[in-house]
Structure 1
C-alpha cells in the first residue's frame, strides 16, 4: 500500500503539473481563437441568457448539498460562484443570474456534454479518462476511496468483506476501484449500486449492504450530516486516489482561461485556504463540523496558484 500511495502521489504531481500547463496553454490560445470573432459558444450563450447554469449535488457534503431550506450550498458551489463573477467580467455582464440544476454521479458528465449545465460544482474526480470528454479546473481537493461500515461490524479492510455486499454510487470512480479490487483479490463481493450518495448511505443504515465505498471525505460528511458518529466509522486503506475539479465543456479555451483566472485570483488574494477552512474545519451552515484539516498536497497546490509578485520568495 505504501508503494501505491507513492505512485499515487507521483501521479497527483504529474496530473497537477499537466493541469497547470494545459490551462496556461488555454490562456495563451484563448485570445487567438476568439478575438474579433467574439465569445466562445458557452460564454456567448451565457451572455445571451444573462445566466450561468450550475450543476449541483444534493448529498455530497461539504462540496455540494442542500441546507435546511433546500437550497444548494457548499465548497464547490462557492468556487463556482467565483468563476461566475469572472465570467461576468469576460462577457461584460456583472449581474449574471445563477440557475441551479440538480445532477447525479451518473448523469453529471452527460449534463455537461449535452449543454444542460455550464459548470458542474460537485465532488468530481478529474482523471485522464474523463479528461478526454470534458475539461477541469485546477485542483480543488484530493480524496480517496475508503469504506463506511457500522461500528458494530468487525470489518477493518476490504478483505474482511469477502462474499459480502458492498454498495457504491453509480457512475463514480469508486465503483471502478471496488470492481478492480474485487477482481484482483478474488473476494466474491456482491457489488450493488445506488443512484446517489444519500441512497448508498441509507442502504448500509438499513442493513441492506455491509459497507459503502466512496471518497473518504464524502463518508465523513455524510456521517456528520446524519449525526451518526456513534453508529458508523470509516475504515481501510485507500483504494484509489482522486483529485477533484470543477467540470466544464472541453474545447473552449476562452472558457478555460476564465476558470483558470478565477482560481488564480482566489490564490493571489489568499482566499483558497480560508474558503477550505470554512467548509472543512469550521461548523457548517447545517450545524455539523467535519474537522478535516487541509492536506499538505492541497495546501501546496493552492500556494502554487498564487501568482502575485513575490509569492514564491
Structure 2
C-alpha cells in the first residue's frame, strides 16, 4: 500500500510539474517583451487592420486583396518587429476594420497595427498611440459638378453625409454651429457608402478628407460628375495606430520610419501611391506637400536614423 501510494504521489507530481512547466517555457520565450510584441512572438503572426475603401491608403485591388500606402508602411514595421523579437518569418493576417470600430480593434487587441487613414489628434492619443506623421489632409466637400456649392457657406439648409466615426463628422458639426447653416448631417458606415449617397442624389455634399475624396473620384472614374471644393474645414495629420503604453512597441514603429527615412524610401513610396498609376489603374497626381516632405526629411536627419 505504501509503495502504491508513493507511486501515485510521484505520478501526480510529474503531471503537475508538466502542467506548470508548459506556460513557463512559453513565457520565457517572450521574456522582456512588451505585451503586444510578446503576443506576436508567441503566435508568429501580426494582425494588420485595413480599410476597404480608403484609396490610396488602404483599399482592395481587383482580386479583393488589401493594398495601399499605409499597408506598405505597416509591412515595413512588421519587418522591424521581426528584428526586435528575433522572428524574421512573421506572417501577416489582414483584418478588416471600419472608421467606426478601428480604435476599438486596437484597444481590444483585434489588430496590432491599424493601417488606414486615421487622424492622429489629442483626443485619440489619450486612448491609442501613433506613428510619426505619414500624411497631411483636411476636410473638404465633394459635390456634383453641376452644383452651385463652392464653399461652406453655400451649404445653408443642405444635407451633408459624413462617414461614421471620422473626425470629419465633428468638423461639420462645428462648421454648422459656427456659420449657423442649419445643416442636416447624416452618416454612412464607410466612405464607399457615403459616396454612393451622393451618387444617388440623397445628399448635397459628402464631407471627408480631401485626399480620400480625390481617391474615390479617381477609383470610380467620375471626374466628369463630381469635384472637390471649398477651403479646408479641419486639419488631419495621419498616422499608423497601435496600442498605447508600450514604449518598446513605440520605439520599433519609430525605428521603422527612421529606417525608411534614412534609406530615402519615404518620398518614392509616397510617389508610388499618390503620383504614379495605382495597381487598380487610377492616377491621383497629388504632389507631396511641403509640410510632409519636411517631416520626412526630419526622419532622415533624426539621431540614430542610420543605426
What TM-score results when the alignment is normalised by the length of structure 1?
A: 0.87
**Which among 46, 53, 76 is matched to residue 82 of structure 1?**
76
Q: Does 1:117 align with 2:99?
A: no
Q: Does 1:53 align with 2:47?
A: yes
Q: Does 1:136 align with 2:107?
A: no
**Which among 40, 43, 62 is matched to residue 56 of structure 2?**
62
Which one scores higher on RCO, CA 8 angstroms, separation ≥ 6?
1
Separation in 1 of the partners of 2:175 and 2:297? 35
What TM-score results when the alignment is normalised by the length of structure 2?
A: 0.88
Q: Does 1:266 align with 2:260?
A: yes
* Cα distance per residue 1:239-286 (max 9 Å; x no partner): 000100000000000000000000000000000000000000000000
1:30 equivalent in structure 2: none
1:5 equivalent in structure 2: none
Runs of 4+ in 1 over 3 A off after TM superposition: 307-311
> Where does the alignment leave 5 or more consecutive residues of structure 2 unmatched?
1-29
User: Which shifted more, 152-161 or 293-302?
Assistant: 152-161
* Cα distance per residue 1:13-50 (max 9 Å; x no partner): xxxxxxxxxxxxxxxxxxxxxxx951100000000110
1:296 equivalent in structure 2: 290
Q: Describe how 1:247-258 pairs up with structure 2 within 5 A.
A: 247-258=241-252
**Which among 183, 187, 190 is matched to residue 184 of structure 2?**
190
Indicate the SS of the match to 1:92: coil
**Which among 193, 196, 211 is matched to residue 199 of structure 1?**
193
Q: Does 1:232 align with 2:226?
A: yes
Separation in 1 of the partners of 2:193 and 2:303? 48
Aligned length: 276
Q: Does 1:43 align with 2:41?
A: no
Separation in 2 of the partners of 1:217 and 1:269? 26
Separation in 2 of the partners of 1:94 and 1:83? 12
Separation in 1 of the partners of 2:124 and 2:190? 19
CA pair 80-309 structure 1, distance change in 2 beyond 3 A: closer
Separation in 1 of the partners of 2:227 and 2:295? 29
Indicate the SS of the match to 2:300: coil
Separation in 1 of the partners of 2:83 and 2:241? 20
> Where does the alignment leave 5 or more consecutive residues of structure 1 unmatched?
1-35
1:224: Cα distance to partner?
0.1
* Cα distance per residue 1:167-201 (max 9 Å; x no partner): 00001000000001101111110000000000000
Separation in 1 of the partners of 2:31 and 2:224? 59
* Cα distance per residue 1:1-22 (max 9 Å; x no partner): xxxxxxxxxxxxxxxxxxxxxx
- Structure whose CA Rg is larger: 2
Indicate the SS of the match to 1:209: coil
Separation in 1 of the partners of 2:293 and 2:112? 27
Indicate the SS of the match to 1:101: strand
